[in-house]
Structure 1
Amino acid sequence: MHITLINTDDEVWAIGMRGISSVLRKAGHKTTMIFAGASDVPITDQVIQEIATVVGNSEIISISSMSRGSMRAKMLIEGLRPLGRLIVWGGIHPTLFPEDCIPHADLVCRGEGEEFMLDLVERVASGKGFADIPNGAYLFDGRTILNDLRPPIADLDELPFLDFDFENEYVLDRTGMLVPNAGMREKGVVLFSGARGCNNSCTYCSNSRLKAIYKGKGHFVRKMSISRFVEAAKVYQQQFPRLTCFYFTDEDFFSRSEEEMREFAETYPDIVGLPFECMASPRQITEEKVALATKAGMYLIDVGLESGSERVRREVFHRHITDEMQYRAALAVNAYAQQDSVLYFLILGNPYEQRQDLIDGVHLLKALPHPFSLRIYNLVLLPGTNLYEKAVEDGIIKGIGDSASELDFLAGYDHRTHDWKRQNIYLNGLISLMGGRSTRWRMGLVPRKFIPILTSSRVVDYCDCHPLISEMVVYLGIFRVWIPEAISRSQDKIHRYATRIMG
């Protein structure tokens, strides 16, 4: 059977979709993958016709999206409906917020999609119905049907490697045309994960709700064996000839035991030998693990501060990591990792964060060992998450329309489109200027010696009373993020054009 898999998020890694494609191909089915998430290309009749042509004789069309790509998914489903094919919609957004998706698709997949899609394809091929398919959700006589979930895949080692063969794979370019995605083979960095699930239950993250959905179904956090993980890295190294490093996207790479980390440090350098970036929770960071990861080739470790306020982390995010844990993790990284090899994450634009919380955050950043880098995230109230539900209950937002789910949370603090982000504009803008590299003398664009003055009550009061000043500070931060991204997009466009011209 031929299945077309379409991703409407603005990225081409789509690890979940690539995993499903591998499972289907291993079972003897044909897949086509389409990456239709170019956010600056609207879903026009031309784009729909392009996609319909590539869909061809596929019996099943599977759409995958997070919240940000959900509107594009709805538009594509409407445009492809005349083809008369079975349309399935899966991904994080349908899993957390199925009621938003069920009216549009013939069938929604909640939870992991590998076994669901294989089951569905076999049912369709044999003429069987799918009304009782596990993980399925749909409308029947005006009623929403949510079938029971199958247990999460227990042994990740049994899954085939991600589909990076680039056969029958297309990407929507900036002109609205679908072109072969062969140029992706030239990427110098490859992203993949050796684990699923997270031990934390942060209210802003999908994992807290996923844990509730899967409660009683089996282990939520699962990991590949070290041998399988290293084997995967070796396979991907062979598939990407220009590969220079990996980004391991496990929610918490350091959640592995010290014994596992030691095995990784002893095998990965000899078999693969490429530097890597990974994410780690402060709770799991120890001197021993940092030393082992560094020995294995870790050149950058991403650590989530998320909020500089211990109160906000505890009471709002339900992220039970104290300042002491943050400092201890920072000292371990500073002592045993390569110099200048830590990237901290911080979320801004939080309506539950007060003035003192933000000032506490500045104090935390100042106290961290330098040099380090800081990445600013823009809070998005992801539909279906616990924080989204709280914001609706508290009257901060009405629903998905003003949840900011359409925003790129990686693009830094931006308050322009949602009024609930306009609290403490000056302090949020000031901290956003601290994004980037911090040294002995400066934090991002802000000289360290000016920080006590810039965060004093007198200055903060004055800026809060003069919105124009606060707005100017924010726009400095926005342009600081936008300019490098614009340059990067231009370089990518030139590279794709050159690839097409040169064949």
Structure 2
Amino acid sequence: MRVVLIALFHYESFALRSLFSYLKARGIPVSFIGFKRMRHKAARTLKNDFMEMYDCHTETTQEEIEVLLAELERLGPSLIGLGVQSSQFPLACRVTRAIKKRFSVPVIWGGAHPTIDPERCIAETDLVCVGEGFEPLRQLSERIEEGRPYRDISNIWVNEGGAVTRNESRQLIDDLDLLPFANYDPEDKTYIDDGRMQPERNIDYFGYGFTDNPRKTIHQTMTSFGCLMNCSFCVNALTHERFRRRSVEHVLREIEEAARENPGLRMVFFWDNIFQVGKKWCLEFAEQYSKRVRIPFFAYSHPLFMEQETLVALRKAGWSVTVMGLQSGSHSVRKRIYNRRETNAQILVAARRLDALRAVKSLHGVFRIYYDYVKNNVLETQGDLRESLDLILSLPKNFIFQAFNLSFFPNYLLTRVYLEKGFITENDIEGNSTASGNDWITSFDKRREYRGFLRIHEYYYLLFSLAQFKLFPNTLVRWMERRGIFFGRLRSLHLLCRTVRFLDLYFRPSNYVWLFAILRMVSLRLKYRHGAFVRLR
């Protein structure tokens, strides 16, 4: 009996690595295959940052499919699992069909896409895990090994020649401390990319090479599952997964273990939806982290979770990078369309508190603040964009502004509204479209002729970009907007933005402090010494 878990385009796949650990801890032989990795694509995004890149998928060749099949034949699995995100649906179908032609082995899909669109997924595979997969996958593996039927396992749908059994959902695991740490060691793991096996090779979040062993410079984890918010563009709005959190001790033991195994560790990424939930937990974490770990970390933040004492404690402990979602500067758009409760006044309070953390003494001298914005929303009017500009101009300067294209996922309320209004078609929904994997960031295209809605929106996005830089006065941005300066010449406005970005970014000393910190994080010397450096492509 062996279970093989396949991660599509996500070598770091926290969910599959957690499942790997869970099965392994229960004595079930398991292997992990990283099939294809995300590649970095240059994008002139006008971010107040040296890194203007984003992750995207590349074409999967038949040669790579054959390499995958050969590796599966070598492993001889009794069960094959695929982690599937919406943008990966076409590839998951292709891989599954290839597997079914070669092997008489059940294939199960799990992850975000099978959870939000199980009906479509179960038509393409043998089994689908809807929701949390730890116990369902364990039970399924044991029953296959024992030769017992598995038609009645909660959370799992079964397709037997077109006859589908849809089992009920099960309760979530309450105590997350019962779960083993996500497994990042090289044992029983292989990677396939560039048309061949990549033995002991993995790619960290920034695209730099390391081999799943002490050459890793970044550790990624989560302290919580679920979210207290209900944003209409997020999977949590559909699954309503309640918020659960690991104990501080459990989290710290994981990071201490990672630090012992990886002497080159420079940064910890906490991928929790909102990290600052629960003042008592956060204060305990900050106190213990600063004593036992002392490694800079990244964490998301939210305007409604900005308790001052919590923020300062986390900053002192090593919090060095954060991303806070604005989504829109229009309160009406946020409330009506995105189901976000925060007011503009609350966003400004949050932004000022984050900015004040720059002055707090910490393990990491620089505190980087990113603000996210949802781009190309056809329901966002010029009045909404003007309100957004007012808000962004009111934020403390020297932040990093990044805009992401609005994506539409199956069965989301947001998607249904746009379908009913005729703004999108079925072809625009993820699973049919792969925009969230390839085009989730777009930058200004000098060769494109922007008209109507797109011209108005692109004009304001360029003004938003100017608002991040100290070098360019707010009064000048407001004057340009009132008079429509450059509205008919977007290429000239884009050139102005690029010029301001260059001057502000390259002539501000604090930016080089951050660049030096990034270079330390990459740990090139350690990678070169151990032959683990992989050139960024």
The question of a shared fold, defined as TM-score above 0.5 by the shorter chain, is answered with: yes
Match of 2:442 among 405, 410, 413: 413
Deviates further, 183-192 or 22-31: 183-192
Alignment of 1:53-452 (within 5 A): 53-55=70-72, 56=74, 57-81=76-100, 82-140=102-160, 142=162, 144-181=164-201, 183-185=211-213, 186-211=215-240, 220-256=242-278, 258-337=279-358, 338=360, 340-403=367-430, 404-408=433-437, 411-413=440-442, 423-428=453-458, 430-431=460-461, 434-435=464-465, 438-442=468-472, 448=474, 450-452=476-478
- Distance in 1 between residues matched to 2:249 and 2:181, nearest whole Å: 13
- Distance in 2 between residues matched to 1:409 and 1:470, nearest whole Å: 27
Match of 1:458 among 481, 484, 495: 484
Question: What residue is the counterpart of 2:19 in the other structure?
Answer: 20
Cα deviation, residue 398, structure 1:
2.2
User: Aligned letter for 2:26?
Assistant: A
| Residues 29-70 of structure 1 deviation map (CA, whole Å, 9 limit, x = unaligned) | 222111214365433332122111222301111000211111
Q: Where does structure 2 lack aligned partners over 5 or more consecutive residues?
A: 39-56, 203-210, 361-365, 503-514
| Residues 341-385 of structure 1 deviation map (CA, whole Å, 9 limit, x = unaligned) | 322111112122111212221211110112222222222112232
Cα deviation, residue 140, structure 1:
4.9
Change (3 A) 1:198 1:48: same
Q: Work out whether residues 372 and 401 of structure 2, in 8 Å CA contact, stay in contact via their aligned partners in 1.
A: yes
Q: Work out whether residues 381 and 405 of structure 1, in 8 Å CA contact, stay in contact via their aligned partners in 2.
A: no
Q: Work out whether residues 5 and 16 of structure 2, in 8 Å CA contact, stay in contact via their aligned partners in 1.
A: yes
Q: Where does structure 1 lack aligned partners over 5 or more consecutive residues?
A: 215-219
Question: What residue is the counterpart of 1:34 in the other structure?
Answer: 33
- Distance in 2 between residues matched to 1:77 and 1:282, nearest whole Å: 42
- The DSSP-based 3-state class of the residue aligned with 1:253 is coil
| Residues 449-484 of structure 1 deviation map (CA, whole Å, 9 limit, x = unaligned) | 542244236347646xxxx8599789989xx9xxx9
- Distance in 2 between residues matched to 1:428 and 1:250, nearest whole Å: 31
Cα deviation, residue 321, structure 1:
0.9
User: Aligned letter for 2:481?
Assistant: T
Change (3 A) 1:246 1:340: closer
Q: Work out whether residues 314 and 320 of structure 1, in 8 Å CA contact, stay in contact via their aligned partners in 2.
A: yes
Cα deviation, residue 320, structure 1:
0.8
User: Aligned letter for 1:451?
Assistant: V
Q: Work out whether residues 123 and 159 of structure 2, in 8 Å CA contact, stay in contact via their aligned partners in 1.
A: yes
| Residues 61-88 of structure 1 deviation map (CA, whole Å, 9 limit, x = unaligned) | 1000211111111111011112111100
Question: What residue is the counterpart of 2:10 in the other structure?
Answer: 11
Off by >6 Å, runs of 4+ in structure 1: 470-477
Q: Work out whether residues 407 and 440 of structure 2, in 8 Å CA contact, stay in contact via their aligned partners in 1.
A: no
User: Aligned letter for 1:50?
Assistant: V
Q: Work out whether residues 68 and 192 of structure 2, in 8 Å CA contact, stay in contact via their aligned partners in 1.
A: no
Deviates further, 195-204 or 44-53: 44-53
Q: Work out whether residues 462 and 493 of structure 2, in 8 Å CA contact, stay in contact via their aligned partners in 1.
A: no
Change (3 A) 1:398 1:471: farther
- The DSSP-based 3-state class of the residue aligned with 1:299 is strand
Q: Work out whether residues 41 and 176 of structure 1, in 8 Å CA contact, stay in contact via their aligned partners in 2.
A: no
- The DSSP-based 3-state class of the residue aligned with 1:423 is helix
Aligned length: 472
User: Aligned letter for 2:226?
Assistant: G
- The DSSP-based 3-state class of the residue aligned with 1:154 is coil
Q: Work out whether residues 52 and 80 of structure 1, in 8 Å CA contact, stay in contact via their aligned partners in 2.
A: yes
Cα deviation, residue 311, structure 1:
1.0
Q: Work out whether residues 355 and 424 of structure 1, in 8 Å CA contact, stay in contact via their aligned partners in 2.
A: no
Cα deviation, residue 301, structure 1:
2.1
Change (3 A) 1:52 1:189: same
Q: Work out whether residues 90 and 109 of structure 1, in 8 Å CA contact, stay in contact via their aligned partners in 2.
A: yes
Percent identity between the two aligned chains? 23
> Larger RCO: Structure 1 or Structure 2 (Cα < 8 Å, ≥ 6 residues apart)?
2
* Matching of residue 49 in structure 1 with residue 71 in structure 2: no
- Distance in 1 between residues matched to 2:459 and 2:69, nearest whole Å: 44
Change (3 A) 1:196 1:425: farther
- Distance in 2 between residues matched to 1:422 and 1:11, nearest whole Å: 37
- The DSSP-based 3-state class of the residue aligned with 2:169 is coil
Q: Work out whether residues 408 and 428 of structure 2, in 8 Å CA contact, stay in contact via their aligned partners in 1.
A: no
Cα deviation, residue 401, structure 1:
4.6
Q: Work out whether residues 3 and 31 of structure 2, in 8 Å CA contact, stay in contact via their aligned partners in 1.
A: yes
Change (3 A) 1:394 1:440: same
- TM-score normalized with structure 1 length: 0.85
Q: Work out whether residues 64 and 195 of structure 2, in 8 Å CA contact, stay in contact via their aligned partners in 1.
A: no
- Distance in 2 between residues matched to 1:140 and 1:207, nearest whole Å: 30
Q: Work out whether residues 304 and 342 of structure 2, in 8 Å CA contact, stay in contact via their aligned partners in 1.
A: yes
